[in-house]
Every structure is written in structure tokens, then in C-alpha cells.
Chain A
Amino acid sequence: MNISLQEIVFYIVGACIIACSILAVTTGKILRAATYLLFVLLGTGAIYGILGYTFLSAVQLMVYAGGIVVLYVFSILLTQSDKNMKYKINRAKLISVLLTIVIGAALVLFLVMTNGFALNLIPQGVELPVENIGHALIGTGKYQFVLPFEVVSVLLLACMIGAILIARKQK
């Protein structure tokens, strides 16, 4: 057995992510679900960190853990939706859920089996320089993403205008 320290950390983090994902959908309380979701997102950030992609790791923390989950928690606090969510699942729903799981797992397995893992694409233990990410984000050449970047900003602007319209006091 020849396991590197990185792999051990990866398996621990992976196990935590799986456990918290299952807990997030099986727990009965909505705020607990949000908390488990937070742990899943923290774990994903940790995996990006193991890969040496610290920029994406910090973005994961900032946008998802510090942004989206805070938004969820805030809306749960403000809407008082503090009911127990133990729904009864009827048979048709159960069968369709199982079917979806099987199809999804088959699809993932198929993709993994046919393509394999790109093992040595990322140099181990080296951080991706942030200059490269910046140039890729706002460059106009091939494999550079200025157009999606700008389109996303237009989307965010539209969201903000919509939120202001909804929240504005009626005259």
C-alpha cells in the first residue's frame, strides 16, 4: 500500500462530503439541512484546495458558504418556516426516485469508464498562479472567457434591479 498524505486527506474529506450530503436531504429540519449543505460546500472547497486550485477554493467559500448559505439561512429566519418536514413518500414517488438514482449512477459510471480520470493534468502540490486565472477570465482569445463573464454580470444586474423593484415601497 502506497498512499500519499494528499490521498488520505482526500478520502477523509470525501467521506465527510458524502455523509453530510446524505444528512442534508434526510434531516427533518430545514435549518439543519442548510447547515449540512454548508459542510458539503466547505468540503468541496477543501478538495479544490488539495488540487492546488486555491482561487476556486476561496471562491467556493466566499460565494457558496459565505453567500448562498447565508442567504438561505436569512430567508429561513425571516419566513419562520420552522416546521418539521417529515413527508410521507408514496410508492410512485419512491419508484421514480430510485429510477433517477440508478440512471444517474449509470450515467456517471459510463462517463468514468469510457473516459477515465485525467490523472496527471494537474501538477501535484503546485498552486495555479492567479495571473493565469485573471487573464483567462477577461481575455478575448481562445479558451478565454470575457463574454460569459460579461453575460453573467448582466444577469446579476437584472437580478438586482428585480430585487429593488420588489422591495421598493409602493407610493
Chain B
Amino acid sequence: MFLDYYNLSPLLMQIHAFLCSVMPEWLALTLEGLVVGVFILVMYAVLAIILIYMERKVCAAFQCRIGPNRVGGKGGLLQVPADVLKILTKEIISLKHSDHFLYALAPFLVILASILTFSCLPWNKGGEILHMNIGIFFVLAASSIGVLGILLAGWSSNSKYTLIGAVRSGAMIISYELSIGLSVLTMVVMSGAMDIQTIVEGQANGWNIFKGHIPAIMAFIIYLIAGNAEANRGPFDLAEAEQELTAGYHTEYSGMHFGFFYLAEYLNLFITAGIATTLFLGGWMPLHIAGLDGLNMVMDYIPGFVWFIGKTFFIVFLLMWIRWTFPRLRIDQVLTLEWKYLMPLSLVVLLLMTVCKVFGLTF
């Protein structure tokens, strides 16, 4: 097969065999688990820094500003690392008359859900971290824990603003999970598999968004809208409605506790984009145009993870574009949009896709 020279699994198998030859298997497995865990956390932090820098630059461009431009040379490249150092040294305040255990736990629940879904992304051929035959369903399931962290954060801060903010954000996230689930289900019907690697490999002869034509494009748009809401961003950033809720559910958090919410927001953005890449834009599959064999050959020489990260950042850019273009919705508008328009539409798209699939109308 044409993609095999970037397949990671033979290399990983060799490393595993080597480790097993010098130490017992359980020790090898534990060590590998530790290394992979550290790798996930490092990727998580590095991506967050890149995304925050990108957000500030994109936002500035849309508002005809320059953005960070002082710290670290002309582009302000060291602005975000400096901010990270600052937030690491900030005091973590504790509140009177609040449940300290739940207050401290809530950010970790949010970050747990985010890391679990993060480790399901298909980085490369043979480069998946959590691999199961129900992959995409696990992603949906794990991401549904995050809302609990938000609710607990709002309640345990012992403040009216955070409680209202948490109930609003929670209601929004639970509602938009329906649309996300239905549009993912549409693509599962399309590719006939829930395994993330199988979904990606099924797109070797064309990305799903081209193979599934009308229903796939509609599902893509629904997914982007609902994904923006799931990540608490874009026109759905109710938590940031300063004039009514101060800062929503994370008003009372400081230092790294707030940092966790912030980190999770940006990584959820990346995960949303990554899952969209996997489902619609072919994951790590290179772009092929039928008939142009020379071009296809060149595309094949670009490694899979470059394709995956490139496409994901393209969708991240789309989502930022949405965020900085549309005004914020009110809570009733948010819920109306979901329950009266988006969810019925995604049911129709699911039906349409099933009909197309049954009558062989997809490519």
C-alpha cells in the first residue's frame, strides 16, 4: 500500500519487543504507559500554547489589530509562554463557606474528559493512542463527563453568578451533545464503522465529505456549529457574558485552577477540529485528485501526522473565524437554535444519509 512507509506500528512493535527482551512484560507495559502518558500531557500543553497564540493573532486580524507584538521579538512569540509562567505562579484562592473538595475537583473532571478524548485522535497510521473498535462512541461518552465538572464548579463556588452560569453552560452543552451525536452517527452510517482507524482507512479513495456529498456536507456544518457550542466557544460563549454573569461558572477560580478550564477550552477546540478531520476530511489521508498521478505521488510523500495536524488547524481556523464574526447569542436563542432547528435538521440528515447509503448513492 502507498501509505505504508509512514506506518508507525512496526517501529512501536520493535520497541516493545526490545523492552520485553530486557525486562519482564508488565514492567515494559508500565513504562510504555508512563512514556505515552507524559507524551500526551506534553502535547496537550504545547498545543494549548500554540492555539492560544493563534487565537490572539486571528482575533487581532479580524478586529484590524496587530495582537501580541512585544515579548520575544517582532511576532510576540514569547507572549503566551510568559503568560503560562505568570499563571503558574499565581495564588490559588480558597473560598469561605464552600465545598472545598468539589471546588478543587471540578477543574480536574473537565480536564479528565478533555484528555480522554484527546488520546483517541488518530495522529498517523499506527499512531493512535487509545484504540478500540468503538472509538468514536468512546469519544462521545468521555466528552460527556466534562459537563459535570462545569456544574460542580458553578455550585461549589457558592455564588449566584457561578450557579446561573453553570446551569446555563450545562444546559447548552447537554443540548448540543444531541446534534453532535447525530452528526457523528451520520458519518458512522456512511463509513460503516465506529473504529477511528477504520473510518480513516475507509477514506483512502476519497474523503467522506466528497464521498457523502449533500448529507455529509450538511452533517459537517451541523457538526461545526454544535462543536463550537460543546467547546463553550464562538457565538455560544455564555460563560464570557461579562455584563450579566461576570465570568460564568469559573468566576471564582484563580491561578492554575482557572488555567485548567482555559486549557480545556482550547484543547476541546482542537479535539472538535480533530474529530471533524477524522470524520469528514480523511484524518491522516493525503489529498488525492483522480487523474493527476504526479500530484498524488507527491502528496503521498508528506507524512500522515503533517496531514492530520494541517487539516485540524484549518478547521480550528474556521472555528475561530466563526467565533470572531458572530455576536453572542442569548441563552434562550441558544436553546431555541438547538431544539427547534439543529436537532430536527440533524435527524433529517441522518435519515437522508441512511437512504443514500441503502440505495448506494454515496461514492
Contact = CB atoms under 8 A, between A and B. Distances in A.
A50 interface: no
Contact of B144 (A55, A57, A67, A127): A67
A54 interface: yes
A138 B115 CA distance: 34
A59 B141 contact: yes
Interface string B167-189: 10010001001000000000000
Interface stretch (B39-47, B50-58, B98-106): B98-106
B141 A66 contact: yes
A54 B132 contact: yes
A6 to B, nearest CB: 10
A54 B138 contact: yes
Nearest to A4: B26
Interface in B15-66: 25-26, 29-30
Contacts of B155: 31, 73, 76-77
Given A65-B145, A70-B151, A70-B170, A58 B102 contact: no
Given A66-B144, A69-B148, A77-B166, A31 B137 contact: no
Interface string A36-50: 001000100000000
Contacts of B138: 54, 57-58, 61
A130 interface: yes
Contacts of A127: 132-133
B147 interface: yes
With most chain A CB atoms within 10 A of its CB, the pick from B30, B134, B145, B166 is B134
Contacts of A66: 141, 144-145, 147-148, 177
Interface in B131-161: 132-134, 137-138, 140-142, 144-145, 147-148, 151-152, 154-156
Contact of A70 (B101, B147, B154, B163): B147
Contacts of A130: 133-134, 194
A62 interface: yes
Contacts of B133: 54, 127, 129-130
A112 to B, nearest CB: 28
Contact of B174 (A57, A69, A70): A70
A86 to B, nearest CB: 15
Interface residues of B, number: 32
A127 B174 CA distance: 30
A8 B33 CA distance: 15
B92 to A, nearest CB: 20
Nearest to A129: B133
Nearest to B26: A5
Interface string A113-139: 000000000000001011000000000
Contact of A62 (B144, B163, B174): B144
A26 B148 CA distance: 21
A70 B26 contact: no
Nearest to B27: A5
A55 B137 contact: yes
A162 B95 CA distance: 41
A73 B148 CA distance: 8
A66 to B, nearest CB: 3
Contacts of B170: 70, 74
Contacts of B140: 58, 62
Given A61-B142, A127-B133, A31 B152 contact: yes
A35 interface: yes
Contacts of B101: 32
Nearest to A52: B132
Contacts of B156: 31
Contacts of B147: 66, 70
Contacts of A77: 151, 154-155, 163, 166-167
A54 B138 CA distance: 8
Contacts of A58: 132, 134, 137-138, 140-142
A78 interface: yes
6 closest A-B pairs (Cβ-Cβ)?
A66-B144, A61-B141, A62-B141, A58-B141, A54-B132, A5-B26
14 contacts: A8-B26, A32-B99, A38-B148, A42-B145, A54-B134, A58-B137, A61-B145, A62-B137, A65-B145, A70-B151, A74-B167, A77-B163, A77-B167, A78-B167
Interface of A: 4-5, 8, 29, 31-32, 35, 38, 42, 54-55, 57-59, 61-62, 65-67, 69-70, 73-74, 76-78, 127, 129-130
